[in-house]
Amino acid sequence: MNDDSSQNPELATGLPRLPNFVRWLVLLGLLCWTLWAIWPQGTAAVELPYSAFLGQVEAANVAAVTVIGNQIQGSFNRPVTWPATDTTDNNDQPRAYTDFTTMFPDSLGDSNLLPLLEANQIEIKVLAEPTPWFAILLTDGLPIILLLGYFIFMTRRVSQQQSTIFGVGRSQAKTHTPDEAPAVTFADVAGADEAKAELQQIVEFLQRPEAFLQLGARIPR
Q: What is the mean pLDDT of each run of 10 residues along the chain (221 residues)?
A: 49 54 73 66 82 95 94 95 66 86 86 93 89 69 75 78 64 61 62 74 79 70 59
Residue 172 lies in a domain: no
Q: Residue 149 has what pLDDT?
A: 78
Residue 12 lies in a domain: yes
Both 35 and 57 in one domain: the answer is no
**Domain residues for 125?**
46-130
Both 13 and 87 in one domain: the answer is no
Taking 3-state DSSP, the helix, strand and coil percentages for the chain, each rounded to the nearest 5, stand at 50, 15, 35
Q: Residue 37 has what pLDDT?
A: 62
Among 66, 94, 100, 62, which residue's Cα sits nearest to residue 78? 62
Q: 72: burial class by Cβ within 10 Å (0-12, 13-18, 19+)?
A: buried
